[in-house]
Chain A
Amino acid sequence: MGSDGSGSSTSATRYSEILGTARKAFLQGKPKSVEFRKKQLRQLHKLYEENEDALVAALATDLRKSRHEALVAEICYAKNDVANTLMHLKEWVAPEKPPKGIMFLLDDVSIYKEPYGVALVMGAWNYPITVALIPFAGAIAAGNCVVLKPSEVSAATAKVLADLIPKYLDKECYHVVLGGVPETTELLKERFDYIFYTGSTAVGKIVRAAANEYLTPVTLELGGKSPVFIDDTVDMEIATRRILWGKCMNAGQTCVAPDYILCTKEVQDKFVENAKKVLRKWYGDNWKNSPDLCRIVNDRHFQRVIKLIKSGKVAVGGDSDASEKYISPTILIDVKGTDPVMAEEIFGPILPIINIRSASEAASFITSREKPLAFYIFTENSATRKYLLENVSSGGVCCNDTILHLSVETLPFGGVGYSGMGAYNGKYTFDTFTHTKGCLARSMNPLGEKLAAGRYPPYNEKKTKSLVSFMKKRKGLSFHYFPHILMFTLGVLSSFAFRSLAKKQPGKILNLVLNFPLKKYF
């Protein structure tokens, strides 16, 4: 499969064919079998294991990504996600049995986990493997057929994925489609049952507008200006490292990269001073020569980012080389809220600092803008932390570090407002691609029918009253603590049983205690 790029009419027919194949496979029930899903996920795991070098090489071509970042933030990360899904899939697919009220005592109440059908997953170029294949795997785990559209900007990785995926996974259920804006426009005319898009807010809107034609639900993983708040209560050396780490990774081309810093003038001075030391330690004397710094993905982005350096004053860095698309890690000070660097997501290694005097000033600065994808709070003062947590809305929060909240698989990752809608990660990815189908199975017991017969006409006061009292919400007899009480009772009982047994047959008990196979357990 490859991008022919030979005009939209041919790609349109090809897309309807692909969709036709996928839909047919879905209707036959092929991707719904849990064994089949597991087999496919194991294959995906194998794809990562067997093609590590090819994937690392593709990422180096696209972004000059170092092997370290390629493995840690992309390949191992995605592989672990598949491993986690394989471990839990059985419990995730099982229908939930929620508690039921007294009205439904004779009935069965379940929530079934149903795949949507054919899902479209559109990846982004900054983490071409992670943001494409984690949702892809989630859609497989949930029992959908999937069409994957990697970003055309990271062309090398897109090509490797298009080559490898059909070699490892079922060819009817899972498809890779390549192409740029015209192809994507055609593709979005097709009908999907779910669309998962990672990328910019502007394109996110276009995707959702196209999805609306068939009322297709969407998850939009977008970006935004993720702020850092830092005060003087923290270990500045550690804090500086953690902020710069999040900014420099992938040369700042990370949707949750710290976008700008909010701090006092004093904290700024300490930060800048520490930053110089840290960056020298990381990248030596000539940063450009370090193999650990990525490049800007293409010339267009390079041109956009380089212009932003003109805002405020360069305190650290500020070098660039257009021939290599290199921009050095850069810290800007004396930046105003109205400067161009504050008007859009930076998505590059430039870190502006805005001075504020208090946490409340920081909160009002942030809330007067669009809701960010991440918010980083560096403080040891728990009251400040609580205040900021409660008063700033953002996709997620990481306190005293950056980016790492994404690595907690039990935390949903997603935006709010302009930073996106929907969330994924771990089980949340599975849930994203799953329709939860509530099901009440009523008993046909004639006695139950008799009791509920008041619902039928002709209506009268007596019927209405009896039904009202039947429906009435009461403080439920909660069974929440039942297991605890049971265990307590068992404890009491076992103690008595032990005593009485000890009295009757002391020898046997002594024997039991002495010969208890402790070794087996330790």
Chain B
Amino acid sequence: MGPQLNGKIPSTSSYPEIIQKARDAFQSGRTRDVTFREQQLKKLLRLYEENTDAMIAALAADLRKSKQESVLFEIEFVKNDIKHSLLNLREWVKPEKPPKGIVNLMDEVLIHHDPFGVVLIMGAWNYPLQLALVPVAGAIAAGNCVILKPSEVSEACANLMAELIPKYLDQDCYHVVQGGIPETTELLKERFDYIFYTGSTNVGKIVRAAANEHLTPVTLELGGKSPVYIDDTVNMDIAVRRILWGKCINAGQTCIAPDYILCSKDVEQEIVSRAKQVFREWYGDNWKNSPDFCRIVTDRHFRRLVGFLNNGKIAVGGDTDESERYISPTILVDVKPSDPIMQEEIFGPILPVVNVESPEEAIKFIVNREKPLAFYIFSDNSQRRKLLIENVSSGGICCNDTLMHVGVDTLPFGGVGNSGMGAYHGVYSYNTFTHKKSCLVKNYNPLGEKIASSRYPPYSDKKTTFLASMMKKRRGIGFSLKYLPHIVMFGIGIAVAVGYNQIAKATGANSD
């Protein structure tokens, strides 16, 4: 392993060497072997199993993350994702065989899955393990070599990954590079075959601009102001819990945390009064003393957030302690759309409420701003839900809960517009790091050549007309063999029953 020299940040001059090592390993074809990929994924799983305590400690050091949040969102989430890949990888890597038309009846039509090559994955500090290692596992599953750059802000986790990954994974194929802005700037001058970045919209743009030098495709997992719409048709007790849960996890430092609430004045009052109760239940009388509430990651982020507290009026919370970078869960009312807190992603435990009178007004409010990463709709009225789903564009949606849609491994997770491009999780992670290589295999059957020979010059009207009619799109006459297995099984069923009867008759067991 090159980059980690006694835990020191290596000089940027080692980057070309590290990347060349990865590129050589890729060219050797080692990562194309599915068994190798499975082995590496199993090792990654073992890394998790054998270092759970060290991970919990590192997360506590970086964010004062509680054990439950660490275990659920950083450890189990990733382990389950790896297990899901291991269970399905053999299925995923198979070349696809899409249906083919009558023209290609004699040919083979396939979609091969090629890894891109050497990919760069840049993690974020808010979920330092999950956001770095879920894409790493996806890139491994797809057969790429990987350079991982953890966020330098969550330093303890970054050090831990840099220490552990070379111990468990192949040291030629997978590398960890550490550093801040100057190192990252150098790193981005290198050529990669894919870049996966999680972080802010501003840095996302910089990453993509750098990637453009070599036309490297990117996935950008960014953020945005994810709104909550809530009306008076829902069970308010459950709804308030679910909203506050999504906001308070990681002290609001979650890319899909509910950013602000859109509701009527009446619903707002209900939320505020219930929130006080819920917070007391969760964090006791002195919230600061609760071990379950995280701290703000750095002083810079702390000061940015404290600046928001004079927007609108504090209805709940509003306490801070700079020495601990503590900001209490806070609800702001009477917030104006033009207030600073409504201009950027909050990324902290402050929840402003903006009043709207109707779902139409909520739609208008949201679509006039950048497309959010998540949109939360709390309503029992299915018509209204449909209206909101159809008219608001967002990365994803969760109705009547927050964050949970990210837990469904069959849903693609990603943003749209300023909230990002590309998506991952489950098979979508694998797809992200896979180039789908179409392949048509023709043969030299002289009859087929004869039929298709009208494509050759000298052209004539007869040839043109013939080809045009060959190409013509017709409603399929059922060359799809999709239902053949079902028909066969039905036939076997009959055959077995008849056969059984014959045998029964022959052996005299059938009394009638």
- Is A209 within 8 A of B212, CB to CB? yes
Closest A residue by C-beta to B364: A27
In angstroms, Cα B282 to Cα A109, docked, is: 30
Does residue B399 face the partner (Cβ distance < 8 Å to A)?
yes
Measured CA separation A366–B418 after assembly (Å): 37
Chain A neighbourhood of B238, CB < 8 A = 444, 446, 449
Q: Is the CB of B80 within 8 A of A473?
A: yes
Interface residues in A91-125 (C-beta closer than 8 Å to B)? 98-101, 103-104, 108-109, 111-112, 114, 116-117
User: Complex: how many Å from CA A391 to CA B238?
Assistant: 55
Contact in complex: A393, B114 (CB < 8 Å): yes
Q: Residues 253-284 of chain A: 1 if any B CB is under 8 Å from the residue's CB, otherwise 0?
A: 00000000000000000000000000000111
Report if A417 contacts B (CB, 8 A): yes
Contact present for B215 and A421 (CB under 8 Å): yes
**Segment among B1-9, B337-345, B405-413 that sits at the interface with chain A:** B405-413
Task: Give Cα distance in the complex from A234 to B446, angstroms.
Answer: 12
Write out, one digit per residue, whether chain B residues 390-426 have a CB within 8 A of any chain A CB (1) or not (0): 1101111111110011011111110011101101000
Known contacts A390-B32, A438-B405, A473-B80; decide if A455 and B437 are in contact (CB<8 Å): no
Q: Distance in Å from the Cβ of A398 to the closest Cβ of chain B?
A: 5
Question: CB-CB < 8 A to A456: which residues of B?
Answer: 241, 245, 282
Give the distance to chain A from B398, nearest Cβ to Cβ, in Å. 5
Judged by a CB distance under 8 angstroms, whether A186 is at the interface is no
B400 to A, closest residue via Cβ:
A442
| Interface 9-mer from B125-133, B310-318, B489-497 | B489-497
Chain B residue at minimal CB-CB distance from A241: B456
**Contact B468 A76, beta carbon cutoff 8 Å:** yes
User: Is A483 in contact with chain B by the CB < 8 A criterion?
Assistant: yes
Q: What per-residue 1/0 map shows which CB atoms of A457-492 lie under 8 Å from chain B? A: 111100110011001110110000001110111111
Q: Are A292 and B215 in contact (CB under 8 A)?
A: no
B408 adjacent to A104 (CB under 8 Å): yes
Cβ A109 vs Cβ B442 within 8 A: no
* A238, CB-defined interface residue at 8 Å: yes
Find out whether the CB atom of A401 lies under 8 angstroms from the CB atom of B440. Answer: yes
Chain B 206-245 per-residue mask, 1 if CB under 8 angstroms from chain A, else 0 = 0011001001010010100000000000110011011001
Residues of A within 8 A of B485 (CB): 484
Residue interface mask B67-81, A partner, CB < 8 A = 1? 111011000110110
Contact in complex: B72, A464 (CB < 8 Å): yes
Contacts A212-B209, A446-B238, A457-B282 given; does A495 touch B399 at CB 8 Å: no
Q: Is A437 an interface residue (CB 8 A)?
A: yes
Query: Are B416 and A116 interface neighbours, CB within 8 A?
Result: yes
| Chain A residues whose CB sits within 8 angstroms of the CB of B436 once the complex forms | 412, 423
Q: What's the Cα separation between A413 and B438 when bound, in Å?
A: 7
In this complex, what residue of B is CB-closest to A220? B215
Kindly provide the distance from the CB of B311 to the nearest chain A CB, expressed in whole angstroms: 26
In this complex, what residue of B is CB-closest to A72? Answer: B467
Q: Is the CB of B439 within 8 A of A495?
A: no
Given A67-B464, A441-B385, answer yes or no on A488-B396 (Cβ-Cβ < 8 Å).
no
Q: Are A417 and B282 in contact (CB under 8 A)?
A: no
Residue pair B100, A410 in contact (C-beta under 8 Å)? yes
Contacts of B464 in A (CB 8 A): 67-68, 71-72
Q: Are A471 and B76 in contact (CB under 8 A)?
A: yes
Q: Which of B27, B421, B497 has the most CB of A within 10 A?
A: B497
* Closest chain B residue to A458, Cβ basis: B292
B458 partner, pick from A290, A458, A472, A488, beta carbons under 8 A: A290
A-side contacts of B290, CB under 8 Å = 457-458
Q: Which residues of A sit under 8 angstroms from B104, Cβ to Cβ? A: 408
CB closest residue in chain A, given B69? A459
Kindly identify, within residues 276 to 310 of chain A, every residue whose CB is under 8 Å from any CB belonging to chain B.
Answer: 282-284, 290-293
Q: Please state if B440 and A411 are interface contacts (CB–CB under 8 Å).
A: yes
Least Cβ–Cβ distance between B97 and chain A, in angstroms: 9
CB distance from A374 to the nearest CB of B (A): 9
B258 CB, min distance to chain A CBs, angstroms: 14
- A472–B83 Cα distance when bound, in Å, is 9
B residues in contact with A410, CB < 8 Å = 98-100, 109
Judge whether B439 and A492 touch: CB under 8 Å.
no
Q: Give every chain A residue within 8 A of B417 (Cβ-Cβ).
A: 193, 215
Known A71-B464, A459-B66; judge A208-B215 contact (CB<8 A): yes
Shortest Cβ gap from A31 to chain B (Å): 13
The reply to whether the CB of B112 lies closer than 8 angstroms to some CB of chain A is yes
Whole-angstrom distance from the CB of A313 to the nearest CB of chain B? 26
Q: Beta-carbon contacts of B26-48 to A below 8 Å, as 1s and 0s?
A: 01010010000000000000000
Whether A245 is near chain B, meaning CB under 8 Å from some CB there, is yes
- Output the least CB separation between A55 and chain B (Å): 14
In chain B, residues 281-329, which have Cβ atoms closer than 8 Å to a Cβ of chain A?
282-284, 290-293
- Interface of chain B residues 109 through 160 with chain A (CB within 8 A): 109, 111-112, 114, 116-117
Residue of A nearest to B29 (CB): A391
Interface: A80 (CB within 8 A): yes
Contact A395 B416 (CB under 8 A): no
Contacts of A100 in B (CB 8 A): 408, 410
Contacts of B435 in A (CB 8 A): 393, 416
Mark interface residues in B248-284 (1 if CB within 8 Å of A CB, else 0).
Answer: 1000000000000000000000000000000000111
Q: Are B397 and A416 in contact (CB under 8 A)?
A: no
Chain B residue nearest to A425 (CB atoms) is B438
| Interface of chain A residues 183 through 237 with chain B (CB within 8 A) | 193, 201, 204-205, 208-209, 212, 214-215, 217, 220, 222, 234-235
Let me know if A404 is at the binding interface, CB within 8 A. yes
Of B201, B293, B444, B494, which is within 8 A of A491 by CB?
B494
> Do A396 and B439 form a contact, CB below 8 Å, given A238-B449, A487-B493?
yes
> Besides the contacts A109-B411, A398-B439, A417-B215, what 5 more A-B pairs have beta carbons closer than 8 Å?
A217-B421, A398-B440, A441-B400, A467-B68, A499-B501
Chain A contact residues, CB within 8 Å of chain B: 27, 29, 32, 66-69, 71-72, 76-77, 80, 83-84, 87, 98-101, 103-104, 108-109, 111-112, 114, 116-117, 193, 201, 204-205, 208-209, 212, 214-215, 217, 220, 222, 234-235, 238-239, 241, 245, 248, 282-284, 290-293, 367, 380, 385, 389-391, 393-401, 404-405, 407-413, 416-418, 421, 423, 435-444, 446, 449, 455-460, 463-464, 467-468, 471-473, 475-476, 483-485, 487-496, 499
27 A-B pairs with C-beta separation under 8 A: A27-B367, A68-B467, A111-B411, A111-B412, A209-B209, A215-B222, A220-B215, A238-B446, A385-B441, A393-B114, A399-B442, A408-B104, A410-B98, A411-B438, A436-B412, A436-B423, A439-B405, A441-B398, A444-B235, A457-B282, A459-B66, A472-B76, A472-B80, A487-B486, A490-B490, A492-B494, A495-B497
User: Which 10 A-B pairs give the minimum distances between C-beta atoms?
Assistant: A491-B493, A438-B411, A495-B497, A68-B459, A410-B98, A98-B410, A411-B438, A459-B68, A440-B405, A405-B440
